[in-house]
Structure 1
């Protein structure tokens, strides 16, 4: 389905990935292209920037559909931590530390 806030997020927003119950990375949304399939159903194509940006991990329940994060609620990028070295840690260790509430 095409998001209701299309104009706000296309070219400006990011899609955040929830993997194994953890919000862990994001990709910038370059464009959202509405189209109608051959079956007549309206859909949208999400064009993502190929670079994946790790974010400060936090638990997140899986969901379907669009959820909008206000900038203050969005997790910060890991490399925005001022050289904290978190991006150098193996992903499994980052997940474990996040699950313990240490990140």
Structure 2
């Protein structure tokens, strides 16, 4: 069973902005998010885990973790989380800020937006659809 990491995307206000920043960084090589601590649950993370990005108080996107690298600088050892280049939007989940990263269990992870769209297209009973923002607001109020 896999586990995910939950990381706040500092200074980013939209998924499109994150995608744009990362596309510029891809020119230099693989995407690498540097953290101070190496995840203890490395095997679970590398078994299909993802980084879920918190943007403006909501989990909004994810990227598969490809590998973990040992990095060194003047402060000592760090961990480089190498990410897949595909940024997958998720349903919005309200989530407060925190420092560093946190584990996010697979069963607590938001679903991919593309899966939700596919479900809605296959559901004949769908009358109207909620926007992402409306769904997130209703979830934060405990109504969904």
The answer to whether the superposition gives a TM-score over 0.5 is yes
Q: 1:74 aligns with which of 106, 109, 131?
A: 109
Q: Give me the whole-angstrom Cα distance separating, in 1, the residues matched to 2:95 and 2:75.
A: 34
Q: Which runs of 5+ in 1 are unaligned?
A: 86-92
Say yes or no: does 1:99 pair with 2:134: no
**Paired residue for 1:43?**
78
Say yes or no: does 1:5 pair with 2:5: no
Q: 2:65 aligns with which of 29, 32, 43?
A: 29
Q: Which has the higher contact order (CA 8 A, sep 6+)?
A: 2
Residue 53 (structure 1) shift = 0.7
- Quickly say closer, same or farther: Cα 1:78–1:43, change in 2 above 3 A: same
Q: TM-score, normalised by structure 2?
A: 0.58
More helix by share: 2
Detail structure 1 runs of 4+ shifted over 6 Å in the superposition. Answer: none
Aligned CA RMSD, in angstroms, stands at: 2.0
Q: Which runs of 5+ in 2 are unaligned?
A: 1-36, 122-130
Aligned length: 95
